[in-house]
Structure 1
Amino acid sequence: MLRKIALAIAVSSGCNAVAAQIAPLASRTDLVSVYQEAVNNNADLAAARADYAAQSEVVPQARAGLLPNLSAGSDITDVRTQLDEPAQTTSRSGTTYQATLAQPIFRADRWFQLKAAKAVNEQAALQLSATEQNLILQTAEDYFNVLRAQDSLAATKAEENALKRQLDQSNERFNVGLSDKTDVLSSQASYDTARANRIVAQRQVDDAFEALVTLTNRDYNSVQGIVHTLPVLPPSPNDAKTWVETASQQNLNLQASAYAVTSAEETLRQRKAGHAPTVDAVAKYQKGDNDLLGFSNPSPYPGVEYHGDVEQRTIGLQVNIPLYSGGLTSSQVREAYQRLSQSEQQREGLRRQVVENTRNLHRAVNTDVEQVQARKQSIISNQSAVEATEIGYQVGTRNIVDVLDAQRQLYSSVRDYNNSRYDYILDNLRLKQAAGTLSPRDLQDLARWLKPDYNPDKDFLPPDLAKAAQELLKPAKQ
């Protein structure tokens, strides 16, 4: 039957000759190129970078509260005074200038605010790194989902062709009186179902390519496929405890949650410092009309009023002791306590989730390794079952329903095999992401196993399966 599968491949590949001309092999995109386009054009990553740039401004904003504050101003006034007794109206206009320099000396709340801002900045940097790391995984998922859909489509087309030939054979047997109409109807129903499945599979390929467009804002006609010789090995080291320990130390989201706790701790200290006194050094300069400034009489001559311009320079310390603010500070302290508790519980919840995910993914990769081998063997076994069922149908010991079921099971095992391959690749990357070790180099390592001239219609099956099936059938032929 693998020879028949090869025939189905030849038939279906003929239908794709035009598509091959539209998308020549040289235009096939590789995994690393897709990732580079995603880095340059992905909207979510651009938004994350802008968010980080905005979050990083909290540090200079908090630091500004500890640095000198200089302000200057000017007033232009016109004062009119009217007296009833004696009836008299006077007016006076003038301009005043002032400048004030304030330097915080003791501001505990602002110091803790700065430390909280630095923690927030570190948290934002780690969250950006987590987004960048997630883009690596998202690129791999979208890329291999295209290959998964293409391989599924190829298997579905091969199944459709095989069932079409079975339908033709049933019609021939019916015409010469070797079978009844039931065989023809059963074959027709199976072929119609396969044809409908092929239409759905084609849509899934288009959907998968559309996901790449969303990821990179670029159109793709074809991508390079992964060879069947990709090593399928257990995770290294193959010890769940080691992976969990690595994840506890390096998982980016978990590290970000630790800085969230630090920020909440510093915010609590900031709120408590609202009860502490503040000390500022203040220097002030004023110049203007004596009457407008309201200075005391600066004339050196007693009893003589001075109405001209004057200058005044002052320097001193301002001490403020908060006594009561309507309970605002105490309420803010209680709120900060609860926010701290919230961030600690969120960190613990995330830690447990990371541990669970890491252990589950470690098991998943080991299961995938066994699945790939088992699914590959399943293709050989189902191939043998198809051969044996067809022989039984020819000699009258099996019916057409048995043949059709065997064929459907064969192509189902082909799809399961390819799905297990892509599950293995993606679960490996997910495990590394959970552990915090995923990097672009992992995509480069995978790219070494890509086939530039990959053709799903002929490469969806491992090249050694035909030989293996023949070896399995030798005892039955003797």
Structure 2
Amino acid sequence: MKPVFIALFLACSSAQAAMGPFDVYEQALRNDPVFLGAIKERDAGLENRTIGRAGLLPRLSYNYNKGRNNSQATLPDNRGGTYRDDRNYNSYGSTFTLQQPLFDYEAYANYRKGVAQALFADENFRDKSQALLVRVLTYYTQALFAQDQIDIARAKKKAFEQQFQQNQHLFQRGEGTRTDILEAESRYELATAEEIQALDEQDASLRELGALLGVQSVNIADLAPLNQDFAAFTLTPANYDSWHELALTNNPSLASQRQAVEVARYEVERNRAGHLPRISAYASSRKQESESGNTYNQRYDTNTIGIEVSVPLYAGGGVSASTRQASRSMEQAEYELEGKTRETLIELRRQFSACLSGVSKLRAYQKALASAEALVVSTKQSILGGERVNLDALNAEQQLYSTRRDLAQARYDYLMAWTKLHYYAGNLRDTDLAKVDEAFGPAQR
């Protein structure tokens, strides 16, 4: 999809349905340069299998040469002397050669290394495909959370401005204090700073989304917001041990790292093959005429079939040093696999715990929000009855808006934890993003 078309699509989207995360993902598949580059990287890596196999297959070559020769031969004569013979002649040679390795451990090791490299490329691409799903949802929720913060900051400013005007009016009537005015003014300025920060964060997130789609930026109005009645998903499987086994089996990052160990292992074998003999069968058909001074004015047609054996004896210690070097690289790859496994399982456990605790946090914040809303109403009534002061109202308002922000953050954190749990387990698919997409609805701003 061309950028111009995308821009037109986004410009008209306000009249149509807002984009959900799945819509963004579908467009990112066609436009994200990181993902498109990953496709080419995988395609290039898959060729290693063919390249490695080529060393085990027959090789057919053809060689042809033709030249003009000017030479002077010194030959013995019949009287015991010599004479010179100037020869100007054409030479010609033509050879077909077929070779088939019979025993070539280096070629075999190269083939197995090529297979491992192809599998590495495939698993690495699978990891980047799933990472694209995570990136889409990350930038999407960051933009929406920033909008929530903007809305909350503006609501706070409006409430604090009204409180400021009310306190100023009471002060002019001699019923209020200067402290109440300053407190309301301070809260208003803090809300203004929060709004500015949220606007900056939203702009960055929208530009990140735009980069996925191949456009400069995305309008927040084009994104479907999270449904207010969003509830947590059912976690399947429900126990951590099952997720642990899934990660060890399916995580593409671990799978690619295991293939990196295999690549290193067969690199060791390839270097070790420098000590082993090579045996190959060959067949050739050769035609030559006057190809050298010894075959002047002679033509040969020669067909040959045979076995060739090459035995390495000494290479200055280079083979042993290369083998040791490759062995150290393999050990490094094994340690990196162990480190990556530990890192992945730690993140898996973190996201699993976040999913479990996220359900409880959502319920707690929803109850806290209801209590905070009731507290604001109660505090305002108590002020009218002389039981509370204006500072209590400001504190109640502050608590209400903080609870709204925390509830919004908890919702997005839960969605990200659920998505990352599947990512680290290695089974994150577009159908999972489609399920997340159902939590977002038409814009209601």
TM normalised by structure 1 equals: 0.82
Q: State yes or no: 1:316 paired with 2:300.
A: no
Residue range with higher mean Cα deviation, 206-215 or 171-180 = 171-180
Aligned partner letter, 1:403: A
Residue 62 of structure 2 corresponds to residue 72 of structure 1:
yes
8 Å contact 1:389–1:402 — kept in the other structure? Answer: yes
Aligned pairs (5 A) from 1:174-323? 174-218=171-215, 219-221=217-219, 222-232=222-232, 235-292=235-292, 294-295=294-295, 307-323=297-313
The match for 2:166 among 142, 165, 169 is: 169
Task: Provide the secondary structure at the position in 2 that maps to 1:24.
Answer: helix
Alignment CA distance shift 1:282-1:237 (3 Å): closer
Q: Which amino acid aligns with 2:43?
A: A
Structure 2 residue identity aligned to 1:153: I
Q: Which secondary structure state, in structure 2, belongs to the residue aligned with residue 425 of structure 1?
A: helix
Deviations 1:102-127 (A, max 9, x none): 22121122112111211221121111
Structure 1's 334 and 96: CA in aligned 2 closer, same or farther, altered over 3 A?
A: same
Q: Is this contact kept in 2: 1:291–1:307, CA < 8 A?
A: no
Q: Report sequence identity in percent.
A: 26
How far apart are 1:383 and its partner, in Å?
2.7
Aligned partner letter, 1:45: F
Give the deviation of 1:186 after TM superposition: 2.5
Question: After the TM superposition, which parts of structure 1 deviate over 6 Å for at least 4 consecutive aligned residues?
Answer: none
Query: In the alignment, residue 187 of structure 1 is paired with which amino acid?
Result: A
Bigger mean CA deviation after superposition, 306-315 or 366-375: 306-315
- C-alpha separation in 1, matches of 2:234 and 2:190: 38
SS of equivalent to 1:322? coil
Residue 330 of structure 1, aligned match among 320, 324, 328: 320
Q: How far did 1:23 drift?
A: 6.4
Amino acid at match of 1:123: F
Q: Distance in 1 between matches of 2:294 and 2:395?
A: 104
Is 1:361 paired with 2:343? no
In 2, the alpha carbon distance for the partners of 1:337 and 1:198 equals 57
**Aligned 8 A contact 1:183 1:400 in 2:** yes
Residues 260 and 23 of structure 1, relative CA distance in 2, 3 Å threshold: closer
Deviations 1:5-60 (A, max 9, x none): xxxxxxxxxxxxxxxx9863525112211110011111111111111111111111
1:31 maps to 21
Q: Write the mapping of 1:32-47 to structure 2, written as runs, cut at 5 A.
A: 32-47=22-37
Q: Tell me the CA shift for residue 234 of structure 1.
A: 6.3
- Distance of 1:125 and 1:134 partners within structure 2: 14
Contact 1:29 1:220 in 2 (8 A): no
Go from structure 1 to structure 2 and tell me whether the alpha carbon gap of 1:182 and 1:322 turns closer, same or farther (over 3 Å shift): same
| CA shift in 2, pair 1:327/1:446, >3 Å | same
* 2:321 maps to amino acid: S
Whether contact under 8 Å (1:235, 1:362) holds in the other structure is no
Match runs of 1:379-418 below 5 Å: 379-418=369-408
AA of the residue aligned to 1:342 = Q
Contact residue 278 and residue 309 of structure 2 kept, 8 A: yes
Contact 1:290 1:307 in 2 (8 A): yes
Within the candidate set 400, 411, 432, 1:421 is matched to: 411
Give deviations 1:132-166, integer Å, cap 9, x for gaps: 01111111111112221111111111111111111
1:344-355 superposed matches below 5 A: 344-355=334-345
Provide the secondary structure at the position in 1 that maps to 2:292.
Answer: helix
Letter aligned with residue 60 of structure 1:
T
Q: 5+ residue gaps in structure 1?
A: 1-20, 296-305, 456-478
Q: Deviations over 1:307-358 (max 9, x none)?
A: 1433222222111111111112212221222222222222222222222111
Deviates more, 1:239-248 or 1:176-185: 176-185
Question: Could you tell me how far 1:89 is from its partner in structure 2?
Answer: 4.4
Aligned partners of 2:267, 2:87: CA distance in 1, in Å? 56
Superposed displacement of residue 281, structure 1: 1.7
C-alpha distance in 2 between matches for 1:144 and 1:201? 13
CA distance in 1, matches of 2:348, 2:186: 45
Q: CA offset at residue 201 of structure 1?
A: 2.1
Secondary structure, counterpart of 2:230 in structure 1? coil
Cα distance in 2 for partners of 1:100, 1:396 equals: 107
Q: Is 1:59 paired with 2:49?
A: yes
RMSD over aligned CA atoms reads 2.4
Q: Which amino acid aligns with 2:97?
A: T
How many residue pairs get aligned? The number is 425
Distance in 1, Cα, partners of 2:228 & 2:399: 21
Maintained 8 Å contact 2:91/2:290: no
Q: Which amino acid aligns with 1:407?
A: E
Q: Mean Cα displacement is larger for which, 70-79 or 316-325?
A: 70-79
Shift of 1:273: 2.4
AA aligned to 1:269 is E
Q: Tell me which of 108, 113, 116 is aligned to 2:113.
A: 116
Any idea what SS the aligned residue of 2:70 has?
strand
Deviation at 1:259, TM superposition (A): 2.1
Unaligned runs of 5+ in 2: 1-10, 75-81
1:158 equivalent to 2:155? Answer yes
Per the TM alignment, residue 266 of structure 1 is displaced from its structure 2 partner at its CA by: 2.7
Offset at 1:88? 6.3
Higher alpha-carbon deviation: 125-134 or 146-155: 146-155
For 1:236 and 1:105, the matched residues in 2 are separated by: 53
Residue aligned with 1:57, SS: helix
Q: 1:290 to 1:241 in 2, by over 3 A?
A: same
Compared CA separation, residues 143 and 324, structure 1 to 2 (3 A): same
